[in-house]
Amino acid sequence: MHINFNGRDIELSFGLRTLTTIDRSLGLEVESVSLGQGLETMLVPGLQSGNIICLYKLIQAATAHDKKKPTTDEDFEAILNDIADNEGLDEFAQRVMYELGKQPMTRKLVPERYQAVKKASKTTEG
């Protein structure tokens, strides 16, 4: 899955580093202590409701690996406006959930309809 930034495609990464960043940035903070839990409590509901901050945080974390990543709020605003104009924010969020449903580490975070069907393994009994 890619986004366009400054005329080039940047692949969105959904690896452990991205997931950790999302968990912290969307997580809970109590008395200056970050409790995380943003993946379970905020990401999917935010995507389902079209929460723009959730999309912003997701794109920010998922592009952090790129050397020419977006860095300013203006960069992210331009990306989100481009997505809104060309695809629609809800449609983009749906694609993200399908992408999360393909990944072994994030499959269980999304509702079942977004989860990739596991290939049935053949077992032989002897």
Q: Report CA-CA distances (Å) from 28 to 23, 37, 95.
A: 9, 7, 26
39 within domain boundaries: yes
116 within domain boundaries: no
> What is the per-residue pLDDT across 104-115, written as a single tens digit (0 to 9) for each?
888 888 889 988
125 within domain boundaries: no
Full domain range(s) for residue 10: 2-110
Percentage of the chain modeled with pLDDT above 70: 80
94 within domain boundaries: yes
* 72 pLDDT higher than 60: yes
Question: 3 CB contacts (<8 Å, ≥6 apart)?
Answer: 9, 10, 12, 59, 63, 79, 83
122 within domain boundaries: no
Percentage of the chain modeled with pLDDT above 90: 47
What is the pLDDT averaged over residues 27-33? 52
For the chain, the domain total comes to: 1
Cβ neighbour number for residue 113 with a 10 Å cutoff: 8
Query: What does DSSP say about strands 33-36 and 8-11: parallel, antiparallel, or unpaired?
Result: unpaired
What is the pLDDT averaged over residues 29-53? 69
What is the pLDDT averaged over residues 33-57? 75
